[in-house]
Amino acid sequence: MNFETELCNFFKVHDPGRIRLSRRIASTFRNNRNEVMHHLKKIYGPGGVESLAAKVKNKNIISLMMQRMSIEFF
């Protein structure tokens, strides 16, 4: 399975409204597949997105994730 498909499948289960971002995330982080999936599982894991959103008011969660990952990976 390619990275974009893996992201689509993940978002179908955890956040269907974000499926549209799969292609962009896959192309931006194509060399960091394992790290991206680990980070997403951490975000959508116990406590879910709501617990993260409570900490970061008025921010787009995926944009925040991509911003953090860009800093960590590049």
- pTM equals 0.67
pLDDT score, position 70: 61
Residue 74 is predicted with a pLDDT of: 40
Give Cα separations from 19 to 3, 11, 15, 36, 72 (angstroms).
Answer: 13, 5, 7, 15, 23
Sole residue written with tokens 């993260």: 52
Model pLDDT, residue 59? 55
Provide the residue-wise pLDDT of the chain in tens; the chain has 74 residues: 899 999 999 999 888 888 999 999 999 999 999 999 999 998 888 766 665 555 555 456 667 677 766 655 44
